[in-house]
Amino acid sequence: MSGTTQETPTRTVFLRVTVPLSGMNFVNQGSRTLIATIGPLLAMEFSLSASELGLLAGMFFASYAAAQLPVGVAMDVFGVKRVQIVLGFVAATGFALSAMSTGPLSLAIARMITGLGVSVGMIAMLTAHSQWVSRDKVAAMTGAGVFMASFGGIAATLPAQQLLPLLGWRGMFWILAGIALCVALAIWLVVPDRQRLPVRHRSLGNEIAEYGVIFRHPAFLRIAPAIVLLSGLGFTYGGLWAGPWLRDVGGFGDTTRAALLMAYMFGMMAGSLLAGQATMRLHRRGWGPMTVPVAALVGIFLAQAMLLWHPVRDAWFVGLLWFLFTFASAAGPAGYAAVAQRFPPEIAGRVGTSINFAMLVFTFVLQNVIGWILDLWPRTASGGWDPAGYGWAWGVTLAFQAVAMFGLLPPGWTQRLKR
């Protein structure tokens, strides 16, 4: 695989780049979703409050966020392949330490190491695709990769719930450690070295300084908040609070809750694939690259509103709403691609990790804010949290979304209203 982007067949890129690199995102999604599945169990075993559980889950995203900017530089300087091989071994180490943890502190440290290891699963695919395929195909190829990776989230729901009595939550982490090692080996054997880009004889300081250009760019400032919200909400609830919500508000037992979390992940799978394909087809018809993400913002707003105000005892209806929620949140990668198109390909890794950094900081804060809100009410007799707290938490996320949608309005719209 060498030469210009046009000389590389899409099928070859898919098999040698998309498929193996999606493996790290498979591990990422499995790791995040597993906490939603075993979160109530961890809370009971370690006697955790809602805020403590939120902090435990949030530590994963804290290290995940802290890794974004330096790893973004590393991908642009050393290439996606080398970086992902190293991070695969780091992720395996984090999972092994999670399996051996003896309390909340050691588990939190292990989760921080894991967060570093899986920190750029989707961004690595996006960066590689921006170097190997034409711009109109980047969102579709990345969406296809995220679709395959979503099977990691599926495996961490009902299948993991069924295996818990046999292997325990520690056994789940050992399985993830083994998968991470296999993925690192596959990347080493299959993924080619990156396509040649223009030579840039620049110091490391100058490479890092590109982040200042990205964070000040008008397109980044206007579009990124909405993308952060789309992906961040999916991370926040899929990574922790969907499971407790289904128990405390929906009143569902372990098996039903795991099945509904599977519906959650199916929504992410379908959204990842269809959002990318829709973005590519609409782009070819002259629509803007943010068309699909804007439509997704409307969809996720409706799903949240229904979950907040509608009775939730019907498992089928709840599953449908959570499906819509994650279907819409999965349009985030299409937004990443839309922002990346405003920048040269040699800094594609830094553009993606800049958005990811902002999104993960938002996720870390929101996961903890929800925990703080839930702790304002006494624990229920079953050990869960009061449904009223979840209602206020939904209100906070709806407010964030209103602000993000407001920011997407065209520049100068206030002046036009005054005419």
Closest CA to 150 of 70, 32, 39, 255: 32
Walk along the chain (419 residues) and give the pLDDT tens digit of each residue.
544 444 468 888 898 999 999 999 999 989 988 887 888 788 888 888 878 887 887 788 788 888 888 888 888 888 899 999 999 999 999 999 999 998 888 999 999 999 999 988 888 888 888 888 887 788 788 888 888 888 998 898 888 988 999 999 999 999 999 999 999 999 999 998 765 545 455 566 777 788 888 888 887 888 888 888 888 888 788 767 888 888 888 888 888 888 888 887 788 888 877 887 888 888 788 887 788 888 888 898 888 888 887 656 678 888 888 889 989 988 887 787 778 778 877 777 788 888 888 888 888 888 888 889 999 998 888 778 898 999 899 888 888 888 877 766 655 544 443 44
pTM, whole model, 2 decimals?
Answer: 0.70
- The Cβ of residue 84 has, within 10 Å, a number of other Cβ atoms equal to 27
| CATH class name, domain 7-195+203-414 | mainly alpha
Closest CA to 364 of 68, 145, 42, 9: 68
Residues in contact with 382: Cβ distance below 8 Å, sequence separation at least 6, in sequence order: none
What b/e readout covers 309-347, taking b as 16+ CB neighbours within 10 angstroms? Answer: eeebeebeebbebbbbbbbbbbbbbbbbbbbbbebebbb
Structure tokens, 174: 């050992």
